[in-house]
Structure 1
């Protein structure tokens, strides 16, 4: 038996073991949801939040301390991901959380952290968000934080500087901050309450220095750099500082009421906001400061607290707060992984998971159905799905495109279902003028927001991205492929000729966008996964389906696919896998370089299989890497974070990523080899 034959022979058993493992992880109602790992920031901020509101720490300090300490790096710091060096803001926040949890500042762990903080500039170097958290305890002066007047809520939605041109995550975070900024709270610490609290003075490099540290470059520096946007934003901020943030404005009371109404209107069924931690704990704090802190369990305040508690994850390492939860995403991708592995669409796990997903798709036909996407897109019919359990206000394109893939892979006739057709129509209405798609909003590309003094994470907007656009093209192509195979669609098909024509026109614009976005290397940037491996895989899977939509660009598309696959071949590691470090977001020259991981190998394998035959050495080595790294229980795991929240700042470790993406890669390989993995396995 040669090397190719032995590889092919090993794949079915690997996929069966993988399927058994993921099936063992399913929840009682048919969905999947694993931990979403992130850095210590959200846990540290949650601890400070509880202390501010005089709320007990769930299960006491010990499990929280245990987890925070387990994340500390050898040099005493905490960083954005396990494989990335320490970050000053995260380390200061973790130090603060541990101190208020009762850890002795002279403990060796704290001393190491303190030494690292002081060696890296001290508290003065922290980012704006960390300044805000510290200011809430008098540890940083509020005057050293940009003004955020609540009157911003009155800016007309269509105006370029309205909150609706901020990304959904920024918008949901900023509105509570408008109220927090108005109140400028100073909560008590163990040493008392003070606007100039000395509780963290030991990690200021100069204890006696003025803490009013500038948060932006000087106007002269900006002018010298010809940065007109930053100059204008800074002048406005300086003017607001001069007039005390407009706190005596005749519109202030009305602005506060409108902000509060906006927050209350968008509170989800579970008590949260936007399905992510920053607006959730910001929303609760804003309610508290506005006097809404009822003890009634049904009150918005108590529901908000309960929503936060729902994000807590506990295991043998201790307790921590998740930045978000991923049930819909995990369920869609687990379902696709099982289907790609060869499981039949009528398998009970597939049937139950798809039913669970179907129940969560937005099918509200009412003109007043919720969704911030409707503010600037009022005539679009709902049909999307959200990433989390509860997030009806901000569904997203990526999950919705993936939902189409899951439904059509399960049952090709679903292309004519109300669910798939409505999802298609919603995605069509979310396309940007440049031909691409963003994640949550349409035309959310006013990039000047990234230059305002408040924004030091450069993530205030949600423009088109290649990875999301690639998945949309893949979904549209699969629908059109199944339509071309179907001769039995009823005359009054829901997937009408006009919808198919719109899909073709939309996809052509999307393909043009992807062709423009291809890097000189042949790769594509990945916004939501690390990094060029993710972007390239998504785009290749999309372009490979493009000929089902329109063959007029076949030459250009084939050339683009060849360049993308060539890049993947060139960056394959010597162990047969693929890996890419998170530093590529700041150092693009490192694209495709990093320790091999199962998730990134799964992405790359799907990418190369769009062009290379199963007998190709690159393909075979990738398959062998996955076979050799699978655990005895059938799972793939990895320590590295390969999910992305905000490039250069916030990364995510999806626990199931290595598993279902490895299944997809091996499953597509098995299909191309003609293997019937589950042919003799009962349902």
Structure 2
């Protein structure tokens, strides 16, 4: 069979599978699969609240046991030697469950790994925070992020509102808990003092307060700050009961509300638990609590991929998905009044917080329909306006914020603070937004916004020719987004930046003819190859090379053949995490990606080369 026929056959198979996966409401609901954190925290919160759902607890215990490595550790990705923080979280959750004894052989192995890797003292700050809530780790004498931030005016550089929205949802409850040094303990709370390697920390002291909090002036401002933080939490609770559709933020919010005197039986806490439970996804071998269901993201990208594969607009799969997406466009609200339509969020339960990436993805999926339907056109035009409004002063685009304060990173020396609290322009957001504006709006370098965006990309290219991608793994991801964006707005292939990137991509080709990048790149901030290629990374690279080359090269053809072959055998090439969340702590295996990105790359190959071999 000639290559073009092989490609078409594989595309048809992917399209058929995607059709079967579509839900009745027009959406695609694939699993947003991450590490053990959400499953562990769900067990802990259910036991903390003494919430009666033994079936769920047993299900999550099974999930954690399945995911434990033979070394005793839990991993975030295949080539990880074991992650100390998530191992402590999983270990603690299993003890909380009451179904696993501390003497269990699996627990003994986990204990050995924890102690050999520095003990509780060496875990991530977020893990220490969780442990402190249960009197399993000492609260610091002075919490590094003061509650007084809530009282700083919005216009000030160090205001709470200068943090990215993603972080605000987590920090509002965290500020309350850190200030109050709240703890809770019941019959389910385990003892894990044996996991300390420093004897001085084994005895957990009671609440230790910074003396300034006793000063009347400070005390008054603290009360005001607590009230503002509480109001922020309540205002951002979604209809499903979660805090802005994040399980991680909702977990912290439950503790914060308990610290403020809310009863376990109060509707806000009970609804929060129900909201997190609704994130449960049934997998082949277990069940997993998703941190934030990726329904809008998956639906938009899947619809776009189908259209790129020439599925017609009048096809029910396209129409129903577009109607679904249209219904979820968020409104722009100022002073409690709706002033227009804006962008889209990541999860379908998110009704308040749009982001650039999901907005450009939805706009891609609805562009052609907007040309023939007035309802789509109105929605689409509003989304494009919002996207332009989100461009930063430096010319790039970030995820959530138009302009965030650069001074925050100088004040708070906290693990991963810059990765989360600051929302700078990134190559992946800038590249994809430019690609959309070029391929769908036909804008080019004659447009000043495009010129600014391209200049940002050129100025932020790494010396080796790559770009770092914030929300994917990692340098392959960023380089794919940057180059396909630049090509879409008319940058010629002989441009030095593109040639430099092309050389870099070819230089990191694996011996098996594909491409694969380790999640360690995200941690080390330099490209680190995997020992094997992945379908998603190879699809991104081949898509990039297709955009650069007028004719198929040997590397492109070899990559295409590899994609075709690897799709036939689901294994780690398909399941390795290629989504980034928090460097060193949170990675995502998007179950949608194993269909979306190969389908797009195969479609682009046929469209550009129309090869018949």
- TM (norm. structure 2) is 0.92
What CA distance in whole angstroms lies between the structure 1 residues aligned with 2:337 and 2:298?
26
- CA offset at residue 51 of structure 1? 1.8
Q: SS at 2:282's partner residue?
A: strand
Q: SS at 2:495's partner residue?
A: helix
Q: SS at 1:182's partner residue?
A: helix
Deviations 1:31-75 (A, max 9, x none): 101111111112212222222222234515322221101111221
Equivalent residue runs for 1:643-662 within 5 Å: 643-662=579-598
- Note closer, same or farther for the CA distance 1:409–1:605 as it changes in structure 2 (3 Å cut): farther
Q: SS at 2:288's partner residue?
A: strand
What CA distance in whole angstroms lies between the structure 1 residues aligned with 2:393 and 2:351?
25
Q: Which of residues 109, 112, 122 is equivalent to 1:115?
A: 112
What CA distance in whole angstroms lies between the structure 1 residues aligned with 2:552 and 2:128?
56
Deviations 1:103-134 (A, max 9, x none): 11111100000011111111111222111211
- Note closer, same or farther for the CA distance 1:212–1:520 as it changes in structure 2 (3 Å cut): farther
Q: Which residue of the partner structure matches residue 422 of structure 1?
A: 382
Q: Which of residues 530, 533, 541 is equivalent to 2:484?
A: 541
What CA distance in whole angstroms lies between the structure 1 residues aligned with 2:588 and 2:156?
33
What CA distance in whole angstroms lies between the structure 2 residues aligned with 1:150 and 1:132?
16
- TM (norm. structure 1) is 0.83
Q: Which residue of the partner structure matches residue 452 of structure 1?
A: 412
Q: Which residue of the partner structure matches residue 599 of structure 2?
A: 663
What CA distance in whole angstroms lies between the structure 2 residues aligned with 1:614 and 1:18?
25
What CA distance in whole angstroms lies between the structure 2 residues aligned with 1:152 and 1:382?
31
- Note closer, same or farther for the CA distance 1:527–1:187 as it changes in structure 2 (3 Å cut): same
Q: Which of residues 303, 315, 319 is equivalent to 2:271?
A: 303
1:184 equivalent to 2:144? Answer no
What CA distance in whole angstroms lies between the structure 2 residues aligned with 1:648 and 1:344?
42
Asked whether the 8 Å contact 1:530–1:644 carries over to 2, the reply is: yes
Q: Which residue of the partner structure matches residue 422 of structure 2?
A: 461
1:265 equivalent to 2:261? Answer no
Equivalent residue runs for 1:332-351 within 5 Å: 332-351=300-319
Q: SS at 2:387's partner residue?
A: helix
Asked whether the 8 Å contact 1:598–1:659 carries over to 2, the reply is: no
- Number of residues of Structure 1 aligned to a counterpart in Structure 2: 606
1:474 equivalent to 2:410? Answer no
- Note closer, same or farther for the CA distance 1:313–1:479 as it changes in structure 2 (3 Å cut): closer
Asked whether the 8 Å contact 1:636–1:658 carries over to 2, the reply is: no
Q: Which residue of the partner structure matches residue 509 of structure 2?
A: 572
- Note closer, same or farther for the CA distance 1:144–1:364 as it changes in structure 2 (3 Å cut): closer
Deviations 1:404-452 (A, max 9, x none): 2212255655799222221111111111111101100111242543751
1:275 equivalent to 2:275? Answer no
- Note closer, same or farther for the CA distance 1:655–1:669 as it changes in structure 2 (3 Å cut): same
Asked whether the 8 Å contact 1:149–1:245 carries over to 2, the reply is: no
Q: Which of residues 485, 507, 517 is equivalent to 2:450?
A: 507
Q: SS at 1:342's partner residue?
A: coil
Structure 1 range deviating more: 137-146 or 302-311 = 137-146
1:155 equivalent to 2:152? Answer yes
Deviations 1:567-621 (A, max 9, x none): 2222222322211111112335535555211111111111111112443111101
- CA offset at residue 141 of structure 1? 1.7
What CA distance in whole angstroms lies between the structure 2 residues aligned with 1:451 and 1:85?
33
Q: Which of residues 49, 57, 68 is equivalent to 1:61?
A: 57
Q: Which residue of the partner structure matches residue 259 of structure 2?
A: 289
Runs of 4+ in 1 over 6 A off after TM superposition: 245-248
| Unaligned 5+ runs, structure 1 | 193-197, 214-237, 371-379, 484-499, 548-553, 677-683
Aligned-CA RMSD value? 2.9
Q: SS at 1:609's partner residue?
A: helix
- Note closer, same or farther for the CA distance 1:527–1:208 as it changes in structure 2 (3 Å cut): closer
Asked whether the 8 Å contact 1:474–1:545 carries over to 2, the reply is: yes
Structure 1 range deviating more: 103-112 or 516-525 = 516-525
What CA distance in whole angstroms lies between the structure 2 residues aligned with 1:555 and 1:15?
29
| Unaligned 5+ runs, structure 2 | none
- CA offset at residue 517 of structure 1? 1.1
Deviations 1:324-373 (A, max 9, x none): 11000000111111112221122110111111111111245766358xxx
Q: Which residue of the partner structure matches residue 136 of structure 1?
A: 133
- CA offset at residue 318 of structure 1? 2.9
- CA offset at residue 632 of structure 1? 7.7
- CA offset at residue 206 of structure 1? 4.2
Q: SS at 2:344's partner residue?
A: coil
- Note closer, same or farther for the CA distance 1:77–1:245 as it changes in structure 2 (3 Å cut): farther
- Note closer, same or farther for the CA distance 1:317–1:458 as it changes in structure 2 (3 Å cut): farther
Asked whether the 8 Å contact 2:158–2:405 carries over to 1, the reply is: no
Asked whether the 8 Å contact 1:534–1:600 carries over to 2, the reply is: yes
1:587 equivalent to 2:524? Answer yes
1:433 equivalent to 2:402? Answer no
Q: SS at 1:59's partner residue?
A: helix
Asked whether the 8 Å contact 1:146–1:454 carries over to 2, the reply is: no
Asked whether the 8 Å contact 2:493–2:499 carries over to 1, the reply is: no
Asked whether the 8 Å contact 2:96–2:188 carries over to 1, the reply is: no
Q: Which residue of the partner structure matches residue 559 of structure 2?
A: 622
Q: SS at 1:610's partner residue?
A: helix
What CA distance in whole angstroms lies between the structure 2 residues aligned with 1:138 and 1:636?
39
Q: Which of residues 380, 386, 403 is equivalent to 2:345?
A: 386
- Note closer, same or farther for the CA distance 1:243–1:57 as it changes in structure 2 (3 Å cut): farther
